[in-house]
Amino acid sequence: MKKNLIVAALALGLAACFPEEGSVLSKAHADNAPAASVAPIQRGLPDFADLVEKVSPAVVNISVDQTIQADDDDGNPFAGDPFFDFLRRFGVPGPGPGFPPNHPSVPRTRQGIGSGFIVSSDGYVLTNAHVVGDSKAEVTVKLSDKREFKAKLIGIDRRTDIAVVKIDAGNLPTVVIGDPNSARVGEWVAAIGSPFGFEHSVTAGIISAKARRLPDENFVPFIQTDVAINPGNSGGPLFDLNGRVIGINSQIYSRSGGFMGISFAIPIDVAMKVKNQLVQHGRVQRGRLGVYIQGVDPELASSFGLNAPRGALVAQVEPNGAAARAGLKPGDIVLKVDGREVNESNELPRLIGDKQPGSKIKLEIWREGKSRETVAVLDEMPQEEAAQSPSGQDKGSRDKLGLNLRPLNAREAAQLGVPSGLVVETASGQAARVGLRNGDVILSLNNQLVTSPAQFRQLAEKAGKRFALLIQRGDARLFVPFKLD
């Protein structure tokens, strides 16, 4: 009897912990609970099987054979290796120049793999520019039904890392273009590509962030995901759960060379704008305002009288450029372009670049504590500013000198006490051999002040194979003799 009472008491105690629906405790808890503000969370993981079966036929494998010279890769003997190319693309250092010794300076063939997808039934294929290399490369497209075609390179845009190739075939399966702007952080996405040559491999994850800005990237608001991307995935499509392409898988962040949970895709709306121009004109035409800009932090916003940090601060105005003709001055803050707000400084190059040369734009700027409007007529962004022209013939000074440069911003120039200069972001090849280092500031070339990478290239080409650079390294200034091999 005593044992039964203990069991009954225990049962009552447990029942008190789990009140029945309609009980006083349950009702009180419900009365005090906050109102639901989001839709109920769905349990379980999505099934990608139907999606993959539907969209896979429009995904292709791309293989590339390219003949290159040894010195096309800054003297690194491993630069022709596909895995090294992948590591270099994503910022992983490789073996230095001169290892192993006696590396032959002879032409060799670089073989690469990548992915792409068909955007029109008559054979236009989208992929990454770094997958196809240049116009000298031989590109082969392999379809899901095992047919292979030699592809014609229609055009390359290295600023956005987009390339368009064409195969001679008809009635091809195509992808459906989605809207990356309506995609939300946290949504499931899937990638299909050829990692390490394993064709039509599927990986999945979620959107981690949107509108990411990467170093040296001014024209692409990347979609960040945690989808596994590896060598060979580049150029492949990123699908939403409706089977629509919302991006092109392009880059990863890695400290080891392998996937570490952070990958980046080019939004498909950016890619399609580039594709249309490459098909129609063979190149991409972009507007140019002619300013050097920097971000606006809370301290700068306060000093300029802005109620919040926003816009793009004009650090320098190019003489005779569109901004100069419109009356812009250093210290102006660009707040809007044709009514679209500029919340971050990196948004301005994209907004201007989307406009056609010669078009009129209305700028809202902040000057002397007041907002005012002005109209600018845009110039065209020179094609030679790209890392390499689509023809592959004009390699530019970066290839010859091994320098990646950016202008000093206004704050840096003030700290150094100089009117202008160029920061060495990377020094490789010949630049590294003459002793230039990352972080050096180039002040002049043959005693002529340098103000922009484009002007620096012009001075270097005019100077020939020998010239002297005045640089600032820390608190010291020194001349560096530069001799081209």
**Which are the contacts of 199, defined by CB distance < 8 A and separation ≥ 6?**
61, 142
In the 8-state DSSP scheme, what is residue 37? -
Gap between the Cα atoms of 69 and 72, Å rounded? 5
In angstroms, the Cα distances linking 355 to 158, 252, 322, 333 are: 18, 29, 13, 20
Alpha-carbon torsion (405, 406, 410, 412), positive or negative:
negative
In angstroms, the Cα distances linking 146 to 57, 61, 141, 149, 151 are: 10, 10, 10, 10, 15
Surface-to-core class of residue 127, CB atoms within 10 Å of its CB (0-12 exposed, 13-18 middle, 19+ buried): buried
* Residue among 63, 74, 130, 157 flagged as catalytic: 130
Cβ–Cβ < 8 Å for 59, 144? yes
Any idea which residue has 């990638």 for tokens? 191
Closest CA to 212 of 221, 203, 199: 221
Phi, then psi, of 378 in degrees rounded to 5: -75, 145
What's the chain's length in residues?
485
Give the type of residue at 463.
Answer: A
In the 8-state DSSP scheme, what is residue 211? E
452 catalytic, yes or no?
Answer: no
130 catalytic, yes or no?
Answer: yes
Any idea which residue has 């971050």 for tokens? 344
Gap between the Cα atoms of 209 and 211, Å rounded? 7
* Residue among 201, 234, 420, 444 flagged as catalytic: 234
Classify strands 370-377 and 379-380 as parallel, antiparallel or unpaired.
Answer: unpaired
Classify strands 176-177 and 244-252 as parallel, antiparallel or unpaired.
Answer: parallel
* Residue among 72, 161, 240, 332 flagged as catalytic: 161
269 catalytic, yes or no?
Answer: no
In angstroms, the Cα distances linking 469 to 171, 209, 398, 431, 463 are: 58, 42, 15, 11, 11
Please list the active-site residues: 130, 161, 234
